[in-house]
Amino acid sequence: MRHKENNQLTPIFSSDNSMRILLYLIVFVIIYGSYYPFHFQWGIDIEARIWRLLNFNFLNSSVSDLISNTVLFIPFGLVITKASRNQLTIKSACEFLVIGFALAFIIQVGQVWTTDRIPWGGDAIWNVFGCLIGIVLAKASTSRRIHFSYELSPYLVISFYLGLALIFIKLAPYSPALDFDVLKTNFKQIIYHPQIDWYWTYESVVTWLISFYLLSQAKLKWLTTGKLVVMVFAVLSVKFLIINNNINISQFFGASVALVIWISLKSLVNKQLLFLALVLTIIQNGLYPFELKPSPTDFHWLPFSGSLNGNILLNIIAMSKKMLFYISAVWLMYLVTNKLRLSTITVAIIIFIGEYSQRFFTNSVAEITDAILVLLGGYILSLCLTKSNHDGQKIIRDNPGYTKVSNTNLSQSKMVCINQRDIASLDGLRALAALSVFIVHFQQFTNVGGALGPFDFERWMVNGNTGVALFFALSGFLLSIPFWQANQEQTLPNIKHYFFKRAIRIIPLFYLCFILLMALKGFKGAEVNFNNILSHLFFLHNLKDYQVMSLNPPFWSLAVEMQFYLLLPLFFISIKKLNRKSGTLVFIVLVPVIYVLYKLLMNWLGEWNDWPIRIPLIWPFGIELESVNGAALKYSTMAHLPHFLIGVVAASLFLTYRDSGKQKPILCESLFWLASISVAVILSTPLDELFQLNYGRYNFPLVPLLLGVILVTAPNSVFAKRLLDLPILRWVGIISYGVYLFHYPLLKATKMAFDLAGLSVTNNVVLYGVSSLILTLLLAHLSYKYFESLVMRKFTKEKLIVTDIPIKQATSQTSRSKRPRLSTYKIGSGAVLIMGTVGLLYILNNQGNSKENSISWASNNANIIFDHHTHTQYSDGNLTLGELTELAYSNGCDALAITDHTDRLSSFNPEKIAKINQLRIQYPNLLILNGVELGMPGYEQREHVNIITTPEFESSVLPEVFTKINKSYNLPESIRDRFIFDNIFKSDDEFNHSIAIYNHPSRKDETADENLSDIKNWNANKQNIMAISGAPGHQKSTDIGSYRALFKTVDRWDPAIANVGSTLDQLLDEGHDIWGAIASSDYHNDKMDYPPCGFSRIHVSAPEKTYDGLMTALKKGTFWASHGKFLSQFKLVAEISEKQLRLSPGEAANTEAGSIALIQIELTREKDYFGLPLDIELITNCVTGKPELLDLISVPAFKNTAVALIPINKEGKDGQSCYLRSRVQVQTMDGLLNMAYSNHIRFFLN
C-alpha cells in the first residue's frame, strides 16, 4: 500500500523541562523590567496608588501603553502553552489566562511601592490580552494547514519562521490607522526628505536578502519570485498606514536593490555572505551615526540598565529587533558550521566587542544586555531543534561530554570499572575546593574584609587555601580506590595504565597554560630562566625557593601532586600482602609519622647556619634552599603528604562502609554537617590559630581530618549529597582543573584592565570579583570542552574522566546517574543570572558609589535661550498668544513656555492648542511649549508649580492636571498636592517628556523651612519637582518679584537659592539633585515684567535643538541662568586629573576622598559688558562637609577665564557625595548688580 506523502509542517517546539526553564527566564525578565530601576519606598501615598491599582478601565490606555503591555506578555502566553505537557483546550487556555492575570496583577501590586512606576489595573488587562495572543500563536505553530513541497526538517522550519519575522518587524510599531492624515504625514516624510541614508539602505538590503534566502529554504510551492515582489510591495504599502513608523526613501531604495540582487544574482547569495553582512549591520547599527564622543562613557554591566529607560514601547520594539537580528546571525552561522554552541558563543563575543566599542560613540549605550540576548537566542534555537539528522550529522542536545568508560587495559581485572563521578557529591566537593582557592587569591588582590560577630570574613578568605588541602585529600581518596580494590586480592591494578592516565590528565592542560604564560612573559620582554622552564616541565619546580611561585602560584601544587602520584604505588606495594584493615592502620600510622619527621627536619634546619643549601641532582635539576622559611620547604611534598594519606584512609573507610551493606544515612548526614560547620567556624575565627600545629599545613591535623570525614560521609548522606550534586556545582567540579590553573592569571589580568580603565579593585570589589570569576569559568569550560576532552579521546578513546575507579557492582550507595547535561546556554544563562543578580545587589547596596552620570553634551555651548514662565489673555496676562510669541521671538527667545494659571478653565482648551499649533508653523525657529501654572490646592493656590510638556503629550498631560485638581479636593488637604503630582502622568513617556518647576518658592512663605518641606513632600514617591525657579519674574516690580511678605529677593534672586545654606543647598547637601539655575520673566504685562528673554534668560546646552532635546537638557540640568544679558557663555568645569575626570554641571562621578579638583570657569561677555570686571563665587560642601561660600575669585576686565583648586575632602549629609555650584556677578555702569547662576556638579566619594 502506498503511503500518502506528508507535506505538513513539523512542530519545532518540544514540551520539556527546557521550555519550562525558558518560561522562568521570561517571567524573570518581565518582573525585572516592571520594577527597574528598583527604587522602592515605603510609606508613600498608598490611598491614591491603590485607587489606580483597582482601576481596570483599560480603554483609557494610550496607544504606546496598549501595545507595550500587550507585547510584553505575548512570549509568556506562547511559552507557557508550549511548556504544558497536555493538549491545549479551552479549559487549559483559560487557566493560562488566569495565571497570566495573576502574574500581571501581582506585579502591579508591587509597583504600589515603586517611585518610578505607576500601578494601574488596566495594564494587567492588556497583559492578559498579550497572553491570549501568545496562546493563539502557540496553537498556530502546530497548525497542519501550511503545506510544503516536502516534509521539512526543523532547521528549514526555523528558517521559514525567521524569514517571516524579519519581514514582520519592518511594520513596527504596529499601530495602523485608516486616517488620511496619517497617510498624508507619511507621504510628506518621503517627499520632503528625499535624501538616501546609505547605512539604512544597506541594512534594508541585507535584511530583505536574508528574508528571501530563509524563505526560499522552505521551498513553498506558492513562493515564487513574482510573489516575493508582491510581498515587498505590500509591506512597503502598509507602512504608509502605520503611525510613527519612520518611513523614508532609504527603505524603498534598499528593498528595490534587494529584489534586483535576488532576481539577477541569486546564485551568489549564500549563507556565509549573508552572515558576514548581517554581523556588519548589527555592529554598524550600534555605532551609527559614527560620531566619536569627547570622552568614553561607562559600560553598563547591569543587564537592561540602558534598555529600560525612555519610551517602553520603543524599547520593546528595539529589543525585539535586536533579538531577531541576533537569532538570525546565530542561525546563519549554524547553517555554515553545523555547531550551534560555537555559533552562539562566537556571535555573543562579536556583539560584546561591538557593544564595548559603543563607549566611544555618540547616540549609543554600551551595555551587557545585547550579549545576553545572543545567549538567550541561542538557547531558544536549541529548544526549537529536535533530535533529527541534518546533512548526515545528528543534532545532539545531550551533553557531548557524556562519559563512557573504556575497558582498555583493564581486562585482567575481575572488577567492574565505572566512572569516578558515579560516586555522588565528589564533583561538588571539587568545585568548593576550586572556588576556595579562587577566593583566597581574590582577597590578596582586593584586601577585602569584614566581620559578622565572631566571624572574620577576611580570615575566612585568607584560609581559603584549605581548598588545596581538600584537593590533595580528594586525590588520595580517588586514586587509592582501585589500589584498595586490588588489595582485596593481594594484587595491584595496572600500574602502567595508572601512570599513563595520570599523565594524560595533568600534563596537557598544564603545558598549555605554561606555554601561554611563557609567551606572555616573552612578549613583555621579561627574562625567562631556562632552568626554571625545565623544572616546570618536569614538575620539579618546588625544589628551589625562587622557582616555586615564579610563574603562576597555583603551579606549586601540581609538582606536589605529580610527586605523590609516583609515591602512591610504592605505598601499596609495601602493603600488598596485608588485608585492607591492616593496610589502613599502616596509613593511619604514616600520617603522624610523616608529620613528625617533617617537623624534626624543620627543627634541624632551623639550627643550620650554612645557608643557602644547594644539593645537585641529575643535571640540570637540584635542590636550592635559601633559608628554613623558604618556599621550597613550605611547599614541599613532605609537608603535604599527610593530607594525601588522610584521603587514602578515607577511601578505605568509604569502601568498607559501602561493602558492609549497613546503610546509616542519618549518621552520615549528621557527621557531614558537623565536620563542615566545624571547618567553617575554625577557618573564620581565632580557632584556626589554636588548631594549628607547628609546621602543620592547613590547620593540621584537625581540619584535614575533618575533610576526611566529609569525603567519607558526603556520598552516603541524603541532603548533603543532593546539595553537592546541584548541576552548577557539578559543572564547576568537572572544569575545576582549568579553574585552578587559570584563575590567578585571569585575576591579575582583570586587575590590570581595571587599572587601565581607572577603576580601583578595592572600590569595585563586586564587579572585579564577578568579572574575574566569569572569565575564569568561561575559559575553564572552553579548555575542558575543546582541549581536555579532545586529548583524552585521542589517547584513551573515551570521554574525559578524572580517574578510573574499579569497584564492585554499584549498590544503592553509588549513584547511577549520568553526568549532568552541561548545555552552553544553561551555563551562559546561569553565569549571566549570577552576574546580573550580584551586580543588581551591588548597585542597590552602593547607589551612592555607582551614580556616575556622564552627559556627552554637558560641556557644549548653550544653544537654546529659554523662558519657562509666561501668561496670556487665557488667564491674567495682557497679550494674546500671537502677541506674546512675537514679543518673545523679537527679544531673542529660542524656546518659550506658555503657562497660564489653572484657576481658570480657559487656561487649557482645544482652541488654545489649535492656535499654538498655528504659531509653531508661523515661527518654525521658535520652540513653543504648552504648560500650566498649577496653583497648589493644599495651599489654596498660594504656591505655584509650572507643569510643562512637549507637543506630543500636551493633549494628554494638561487635561489630566485639571482632572486631578478636581479629584484632589475630595482628599485630605495634606495629601492633595502629592496626589496630583503622582497621578498626572499615565505613562513613563509622559513623565519623561514633562517637567515640574517650583516657581518663586519664597514669595509667600510663612516659615524659613517651608520650601524644603514642600519639595520633600511632593517628591516623596518620585522626583516630581526637578527644578526651582532661582530668580522670580516681575523684575520691574517695586518689590522685586512681587515679594511683599516675610521674605525678599537677594540681588533679584530667591533667597532659597541665593542664600548659602538655604533650601537649595540643604537639598543638595542631602543628595537630592534639584536644579536652581532658572530665571524667567513670568510675563503678564509691561508694567511688572521685562519681555520674555529680554532680561531673564535660561541658557540651555541641549543635545539637539528640538522639543525632546530641550526637555532632556532641562531634566539633566545642562543649563545656566542670568539677568541683564551680560554673558553669552558661562562654563563651569571640574577636572580631577588622577581620575581623568572632566565634569560640567549636571554630571556626577566617583572620586577618591582627598582628591584635588581643578575648577575652571570660562566666560564670554556680551558686547555691552566688554571691559567690565567680573566676580565668581563657588558654593560647595566638599571642603568641610557643610555648604559654604568660598573666597571670591575676581576676573579682571578683558579676561575670560579663572581657575581655582578645591580639595574634595568630605561628603555631605547624604554620607556619600558632595557638590559644587557657582555664580557670577557684574556691577553695571548704572550701579546695578546682575547675576548668573550655574547648576551643580556632584562628586561621589569612595
Q: How far apart are CA 285 and CA 1189, in angstroms?
A: 48
556 backbone dihedrals φ, ψ, rounded to 5°: -60, -35
Q: How far apart are CA 976 and CA 984, in angstroms?
A: 12
What average pLDDT does the segment 519-539 reach?
70
In this structure, are strands 1233-1238 and 1119-1123 parallel, antiparallel, or unpaired? antiparallel
Residue 688 pLDDT > 50: yes
Task: Give tens-digit pLDDT for 867-898.
Answer: 999 999 999 899 999 999 999 999 999 999 99
Element (H, E) at 1193: strand 1193-1195
**Amino acid, res. 802:** V
Q: To 10 degrees, what angle do helices 225-239 and 249-265 make?
A: 180
> Are the CB atoms for 404 and 800 separated by under 8 Å?
no
- Split at pLDDT 50, 70, 90, the class of 245 is low
278-282, 361-365, 853-857 — which one is most confidently predicted on average?
Answer: 278-282
Q: Which of 659-668, 800-809, 893-902, 1233-1242 has the lowest mean pLDDT?
A: 800-809
* Of 418 and 37, the one with more pLDDT: 37
Q: Could you tell me which CATH number the domain at 862-1125 has? A: 3.20.20.140
Task: Give tens-digit pLDDT for 943-968.
Answer: 999 999 999 999 889 999 988 888 88
Q: How far apart are CA 474 and CA 470, in angstroms?
A: 6
418 backbone dihedrals φ, ψ, rounded to 5°: -130, 165
What does the pLDDT read at residue 982? Answer: 86
Q: How far apart are CA 937 and CA 948, in angstroms?
A: 18
Cα three-residue angle 1053-1056-1061, rounded to 5 degrees: 120
Please give the mean pLDDT across all residues of the chain. Answer: 81
Q: How far apart are CA 1130 and CA 1163, in angstroms?
A: 5
In the chain, list all ranges with CATH 2.60.40.740: 1127-1246
**Residues near 1104 by Cβ (< 8 Å), separated by ≥ 6?**
none
Q: How far apart are CA 857 and CA 863, in angstroms?
A: 11
**Beta partners for 1100?**
864, 1119
> Are the CB atoms for 953 and 16 separated by under 8 Å?
no
Task: Give tens-digit pLDDT for 121-145.
Answer: 888 888 899 899 888 888 876 654 4
Residue that has been written with the C-alpha cell 558550521 in this structure: 337
Percent of the chain predicted with pLDDT > 90: 33
What does the pLDDT read at residue 174? Answer: 60
Q: How far apart are CA 357 and CA 366, in angstroms?
A: 7
In the chain, list all ranges with CATH 3.20.20.140: 862-1125
Closest CA to 327 of 285, 378, 286: 378
What does the pLDDT read at residue 175? Answer: 58
Say how many C-beta atoms besides its own lie within 10 A of residue 410's C-beta: 18
1079, exposed or middle or buried, with CB in 10 Å at 0-12, 13-18, 19+?
buried
> Are the CB atoms for 867 and 896 separated by under 8 Å?
yes
- Split at pLDDT 50, 70, 90, the class of 844 is very low
Task: Give tens-digit pLDDT for 181-215.
Answer: 566 666 666 666 667 777 788 888 999 899 888 88
What average pLDDT does the segment 734-751 reach?
92
What does the pLDDT read at residue 1143? Answer: 92
DSSP for 1075-1093 reads B---B---BS-TTT-PPTT
DSSP for 798-851 reads S---S-EEEESSP-TTS--PPPPP--HHHHHHHHHHHHHHHHHHHHHHTGGGS-
Q: How far apart are CA 32 and CA 308, in angstroms?
A: 10
Cα three-residue angle 411-417-418, rounded to 5 degrees: 155
Element (H, E) at 927: strand 927-935
Residue 899 pLDDT > 90: yes
Q: How far apart are CA 364 and CA 291, in angstroms?
A: 10
* SS3 label, residue 222: coil
Task: Give tens-digit pLDDT for 314-346.
Answer: 566 777 788 888 999 999 998 888 888 889 999
What does the pLDDT read at residue 6? Answer: 38
Cis before residue 289, ω within 30 degrees of 0? yes
The b-or-e profile of 17-42 (16+ CB within 10 A means b, else e) is: ebbbbbbebbbebbeebbbbbebeee
Q: Where are the alpha helices (DSSP H) in 58-89?
A: 63-83
Percent of the chain predicted with pLDDT > 70: 83
**Residues near 218 by Cβ (< 8 Å), separated by ≥ 6?**
148, 152, 156, 157, 159, 160, 163
What does the pLDDT read at residue 867? Answer: 96
The b-or-e profile of 544-558 (16+ CB within 10 A means b, else e) is: bbebbebbbbbbbbb
* SS3 label, residue 758: coil
Residue 153 pLDDT > 70: no
* SS3 label, residue 433: helix
* Of 207 and 116, the one with more pLDDT: 207
424 backbone dihedrals φ, ψ, rounded to 5°: -60, 150
Take residue 156 and report the three cell numbers written for it: 528549514
In this structure, are strands 1201-1208 and 1188-1189 parallel, antiparallel, or unpaired? unpaired
- Split at pLDDT 50, 70, 90, the class of 971 is confident
Say how many C-beta atoms besides its own lie within 10 A of residue 676's C-beta: 18
Q: How far apart are CA 841 and CA 844, in angstroms?
A: 5
User: What's the CATH fold of domain 1127-1246?
Assistant: Immunoglobulin-like (2.60.40)
Q: Where are the alpha helices (DSSP H) in 193-339?
A: 198-217, 225-239, 249-265, 271-287, 312-337
**Beta partners for 1158?**
1135, 1205
Residue 1 pLDDT > 70: no
**Beta partners for 822?**
none
Cα three-residue angle 1120-1122-1126, rounded to 5 degrees: 120
C-alpha to C-alpha distances, 987 to 63, 128, 285, 991, nearest whole angstrom: 11, 19, 28, 7
What does the pLDDT read at residue 412? Answer: 37
In this structure, are strands 1233-1238 and 1188-1189 parallel, antiparallel, or unpaired? unpaired
**Amino acid, res. 681:** V
Residue 1226 pLDDT > 50: yes
What does the pLDDT read at residue 818? Answer: 42
Q: What is the DSSP letter of 361?
A: B
> Are the CB atoms for 307 and 369 separated by under 8 Å?
yes
What does the pLDDT read at residue 516? Answer: 84
What does the pLDDT read at residue 37? Answer: 61
216-220, 237-241, 901-905, 1127-1131 — which one is most confidently predicted on average?
Answer: 1127-1131
What does the pLDDT read at residue 337? Answer: 87
> Are the CB atoms for 937 and 902 separated by under 8 Å?
no
* Of 234 and 635, the one with more pLDDT: 635
> Are the CB atoms for 599 and 607 separated by under 8 Å?
no
Residue that has been written with the C-alpha cell 503630582 in this structure: 981
What average pLDDT does the segment 1123-1133 reach?
93
81 backbone dihedrals φ, ψ, rounded to 5°: -70, -45
Q: What is the DSSP letter of 784?
A: I
* SS3 label, residue 1123: strand
